[in-house]
Structure 1
Amino acid sequence: MDLVVTTMGSLFEETVGSSEAGGFISLVGLAVGEKIQTAYLASNGASQLDRKGMIEALLDMKRRIGSDFYVVEESEQRIVLGNKRCPFGELAKKCPSLCMLTANVCGHLAAESQGYARVDLPETIAAGASECRIVINLEPDPSGGGRRYHRRAWA
């Protein structure tokens, strides 16, 4: 499966460019995030994941796909996750837009749980770092970078 996703991402990047490929992969990430959230809510018998449940869901889901995620920092303002192993391996370096899957899954689950999230990926294995850093900011900051996510109005 990893080979299929990575090949698809690489072909998108080669055909339409990195930005457009990232946009498409972002949509895939949002859809995956919704499915993961639904599964974890059903298994917990809850209508919304609390903060602890959201973090556990992210770590569990990432472990299931072959990553090695762990909590670096947790505060009221943000959660910082590290990752020692990319599920796409060295192939991710050929398709760095696949990092949008991680950003969107993390952003979607955090926003649905906490109401808001802004996700930054300051370091990624795909960009040559030894580990990934995923910063999930939980308080709005208009001057901050990253991708912003909000809880769905109908949730």
Structure 2
Amino acid sequence: MIIIIIINTTNDKLFSDSDNQANAGQQLLLPEHSVILALVIKTADDKQLLFERVGRSWQHTGKGVLLSLTDQHVEQLMFSWQQASGLVQASDVIIDESKGVLVQIDIAANEQRQQFTLYPLTDQLLIYKHASDTWLAFPAAIAKQLIPITQL
């Protein structure tokens, strides 16, 4: 019993809550271990990309967009969406809504479609999560990983 108490006490000192507090402002875009079934990207100038899971591979179609993505590029895109986490921002973000890119994602075992609006800025990427009414900030480089359209 004494050994258990010593281990618990030293464990709390070695691994304090400061590690957990450092990640407190971080939030994943999608629920952990999500399986994406479909991803739709709609730009303000009426371009659209649709990625659908067909068996073990992906099929993508575009309206007003010509893309030559390999299967590996599409897998990397989906992985980026599954792993991306950003800093939670204040809810009073002021932004030009006409420059937003709408993204809708269907996730396995989730009836409700996830919806996001992405705002690529020069120094960062802001993402609004519609379901939770939350703003997240990401480094600007993440925009290229989440949106495969080169000209926005």
Q: TM-score, normalised by structure 2?
A: 0.27
| Higher gyration radius (CA) | 2
Q: Which one has the bigger helix percentage?
A: 1
